[in-house]
Each structure stands twice: as C-alpha cells, then as structure tokens.
Amino acid sequence: MHRKLFAIASLLLFPTLLIAQNPAPAGQAPGGQAPGGFGRGRGGPALPANQPAPRDDNRHKGFVEIAQRANIDLLFVGDSITDWFANPRGGQPATGLAVWDTNFGPFKPADFGIAGDATQGVLWRMQNGELEGFKAKLIVLMLGTNNINRNPNDEIVDGDRLIIEEFNKRQPQAKVLLLGIFPRNADPANPLRATIKEINSKLAKLADNNKVFYMDIGDKFLTADGTLTTEIMADGLHPTAKGYQIWADAIIDKVKMLMK
C-alpha cells in the first residue's frame, strides 16, 4: 500500500521524468502513441523493432498508388524527418520542399516518409506494396530515432537491416544509401547523443560498399562544440529549411554517383 502511494505521488510530482526517459517520436507529442501501436506510451510496451507493425492508413495507401505509377528513380524512406523534406505538413508546403525540388527534383524522386513512424511500421510498409510497380536506381534510408528508449539498440539496428533486406529483395537493381540517425537535443552531453552514436556505429556495419552504402552526416548539423542550434533544428529534432539544405549538400554528390 505504501509503495502504491509513493508511486502515485512520484508521478504527480515528477511527470517530466517520464518524458525525459521516453522522448516523443519524431512528429509526435510527448507521451503519445506512435501510429501502428508500436510506440511505448499509452499503448503499453513497444513491439520489437525488428517485427513489422501494420499501418494500413491513407498515407500508406497513397504511397502504394505513387509506386504503381512506375515513375520513381530516387526513393527516400523514413519518419517525419524525411516526411517533411518533400511532403505537405498540416496543409502547408513541406519545410524542405524548395531544397528538395532544387537538389533532387531532376532525379524522379519520391518521399515515403511518415511522421511518427519507426522501424516496425516502415518494415511493414515495405512488405506491403510501397516497393512494387517501379524500379528505383537508389533508395535513401534514415530511420530509428523514434525507436530510441523504446527498443534495445541492437534491435533497432536489426530493424533497419530487415528493411534493407526488403529493398534488396523487392528492388534488386537499386543501390541503398543508409544514413546514420541524425543528432538530437541541443546539448552535446544529452544521453541521446551517446545512444545515437552507438546505434550509428552498428548501422555502419550493414554497408557492403557494393549495393549498400553508409554515410553519417550528423556532425554537419552541429557547431564546433557539438551544439545543435535552433537555426538548424528548431525543436532539437526536425530540420529547418537550413537543416534540410545541410542534408542535401552532404549527400548530393553521393546520390549522383550511386544513380549513374
């Protein structure tokens, strides 16, 4: 009985501790549930990061329709960080749209990012129609930030590995450019930074430099002392237009090379 009263008092007095330990997924408010039921919030424990989670919603159906038009040479896949590179947000143009059009527009691109998604949802989407109907030259994947503190690091890496397997199986002609998870939080001492560094060191090992290539461009978003400024990511997670320009500048040469 005393333990229950103490637990309730702790929740009332220190609710911010829960948010700090379980940061909100990209594109989602703190404490919410990620689409597909795989986030840890009101919906309970997280589904393993290497298991597909259905999200048969209108965003997914729309991407399947785009895929069936057979007009994609360059595909970006991910969560809200990718989503808001080219796709409308709340009825407004994407944050990075001008950068997207200038840098990637000539390559018949498509943006299959969905805000709030994680490895579980992307794995299911890739298994259920979003890779059918076209033949890409290059697929760019940056994914995993929404799994952090919800799934073990090794499991997150395995989720990305399985997604890359789907690329290789369903788009065998395509090369894959895997990007390290972007830095989060303004403070370089924030524990999220160390977690991301560990995950990225393991993601790098998924590259074979034949079909799958890896780049970690995270440092390009940071100042010399490791600070992530609001000018680059206004909320410490999502790029501003300037942040999207940094992203494009960092990979455009590699994209051109891999699409030849």
Tokens encoding 173 = 């002609």
Contact of 111 with 87, CB cutoff 8 Å: yes
The verdict on whether 238 is a catalytic residue reads: yes
Distance CA 188, CA 84 (A): 24
**Residue 16 zone, left/alpha/beta (φ > 0; ψ -120 to 50; rest):** alpha
Single-letter residue type at 182: F
Choose, from 79, 83, 111, 238, the residue flagged as catalytic. Answer: 238
The verdict on whether 10 is a catalytic residue reads: no
Q: Which of 82, 164, 170 is nearest to 134 (CA)?
A: 170
Distance CA 102, CA 248 (A): 10
- State the angle between helix axes of 191-203 and 153-170 in degrees (0 to 180), rounded to the nearest 10: 40
User: What does DSSP assign to residue 137?
Assistant: S
Choose, from 57, 154, 187, 235, the residue flagged as catalytic. Answer: 235
Choose, from 80, 111, 117, 216, the residue flagged as catalytic. Answer: 80
The verdict on whether 201 is a catalytic residue reads: no
**Residue 221 zone, left/alpha/beta (φ > 0; ψ -120 to 50; rest):** alpha
**Catalytic site positions:** 80, 235, 238
